[in-house]
Amino acid sequence: MWLKDSSIGRKFVMSLTGLALVFFLLFHGCMNLVVVFSEEWYNFICEVLGANWYALIGTMGLAFLVLVHFCYAFYLTIQNRAARGKDRYAVTGKKEGVDWESENMLVLGIIVICFLVLHLYNFWFRMQLAEITDGATAGAFSPTAGAAYVKALFVNGWCGIVYCCLYLVWLVALWFHLRHGVWSALHTLGMNNLKWMKRIKVLGVCIATLVVAPFTIVVLFYLGMGIGNLC
């Protein structure tokens, strides 16, 4: 099958799943940003997007996209390494015109996935799953108290500051991953002539920044609050 057996087909699948995840992250980041301006509205959003049927379908769809994207990325990386053979052990300088993140996309992706697991534990296992199981999960929080939970997690003495710093590391890795990922996806989907090459690189920077900025603002907001409480 073309999508499975062809290298171009696999890159096409990665591009589509990656761009779909970018749109979700943009929505999720804007949703999170609301907590900085209004805790009541944030709690309302959490309640609307709790364990309702449409939220559960969306969660399963996202899980499928992440799984497909990561599996295809891992498979393509293994194939690329195998194709290079012994040449991959050769000591060479940095290739001209090749960005650092383009050579470390799998590493960046693994960092993103690892922190995604932490994020899912904090905000899915203890909120949405807790609602599904009627509070049976450990440390459950009601979606109607979403803002209070975010504050309890990030404004919690030194532990909260460590959490904020961990999330900032995640966001830096995510930014680099998205900057190259968006460029690569658009390149694969046809924007690969000389006229568009530089434009989509700039577009990749803009989209990566637009996606990561709302999350970063929220983390910095609570980091400042946590440091202020310690002083």
Mean pLDDT (whole number) for 75-85:
72
pLDDT tens by residue, 104-162 = 777 887 888 888 888 888 878 777 777 777 765 555 667 677 888 888 889 988 888 99
| pLDDT beyond 60 at 96 | no
Tokens 């920077």 belong to residue? 205
Task: Judge whether 186 and 207 are in contact, CB under 8 Å.
Answer: no
CATH pick for 2-84+103-230 out of 3.40.50.880, 1.10.3720.10, 1.20.1300.10, 2.60.40.10: 1.20.1300.10
Tokens 């709790």 belong to residue? 50
Q: Between vectors from CA 156 to CA 223 and to CA 47, what angle results, nearest 5°?
A: 85
Distances (CA, A) of 111 to 19, 36, 48, 52: 19, 26, 30, 30
Which residue has better confidence, 205 or 11?
A: 205
Mean of pLDDT over the chain: 82
Mean pLDDT (whole number) for 183-200:
79
Task: Judge whether 218 and 35 are in contact, CB under 8 Å.
Answer: yes
| pLDDT beyond 70 at 71 | yes
| Residue environment code for 160-177, b if the CB has 16+ CB neighbours within 10 A, otherwise e | bbebbeebeebbebbbbb
Taking the C-alpha atoms of residue 229 and residue 226, their distance in angstroms, rounded to an integer, is 5
| pLDDT beyond 50 at 90 | no
pLDDT of residue 219: 94
| pLDDT beyond 50 at 89 | no
Coil, strand or helix: which one is 134? coil
Mean pLDDT (whole number) for 176-201:
82
pTM (predicted TM-score): 0.82
Which amino acid, residue 153? L
pLDDT of residue 88: 46
